[in-house]
Amino acid sequence: MARILGYAGMSLDGYIASVDGTYDWLSKYDTIDFGDFAFDRFLSGIRTMVMGRATYDVVAGHPGPWPYAGKRVLVVTSRPISGSNGDIEVWSEGLDALIRHLRERDDGDVWMVGGGQLQQAFIARGALDQLELYVVPEIVGAGIPLFPANGFARTVRLVSADVLPAGCMRLFYDFGAAA
């Protein structure tokens, strides 16, 4: 059974993207060696990626090749996607059916890419297993928060906190255990 994982970079003031959906302020940390916590190492265990339409639009809009070649990418949306940038599958059959579909897979873990709205929906259904959160020393001032303000509340368990180079911090949460 596949694990469903969150992995995100976040500004010190709680944003995962700027107001326009971009995350250029985060890219300056791409060249820093985080050792055991490097993104490439995380990505090597991922077979399937799930993202919402807004995240897909941002990723697809970046110049260059599709960054997730060789991975199965599911885009959760009710709107059709024409001329997709990359090999994707559109999922519009509902989240409960998606969670069942993902849990039945045994060919690698699942990464919830990008926005907190979809991740929060998985958390509400008890379907997000873990979250690796990387806090960078940037104050963005406004943008897209890690989790949208919608009244949903849940206590989770912090498993570890690691100080990384360049003033970054890794927080690792387990959603499977009660706090």
Residue 3 lies in a domain: no
Residue 86 lies in a domain: yes
Give residue 124's domain range. Answer: 36-160+170-174
Confidence label for 24 from pLDDT (cuts 50, 70 and 90): confident
Residue 60 lies in a domain: yes
- Kindly list the distances between the CA atom of residue 158 and the CA atoms of 79, 116, 173, 175, 179, in Å, as whole numbers in the listed order: 36, 18, 4, 9, 8
- How high is the pLDDT of residue 179? 44
Residue 29 lies in a domain: no
Model pLDDT for residues 148-172, shown as the tens digit of each residue: 888 888 888 999 999 999 999 999 9
Residue 113 lies in a domain: yes
pLDDT > 50? residue 178 = no
Per the CB < 8 A criterion, the answer to whether 88 and 59 are in contact is no
Model pLDDT for residues 41-56, shown as the tens digit of each residue: 999 999 999 999 988 9
Give the CATH number for residue 95: 3.40.430.10
- How many separate domains does the chain show? 1
Model pLDDT for residues 75-119, shown as the tens digit of each residue: 999 988 887 777 899 999 999 999 999 999 888 899 999 778 899
What radius of gyration do the chain's Cα atoms show? 16
Model pLDDT for residues 118-145, shown as the tens digit of each residue: 999 999 999 999 999 999 999 999 999 9
Predicted structure pTM score: 0.89
Residue 132 lies in a domain: yes
Residue 80 lies in a domain: yes
The DSSP 8-state label assigned to residue 119 in this structure reads H
Residue 81 lies in a domain: yes
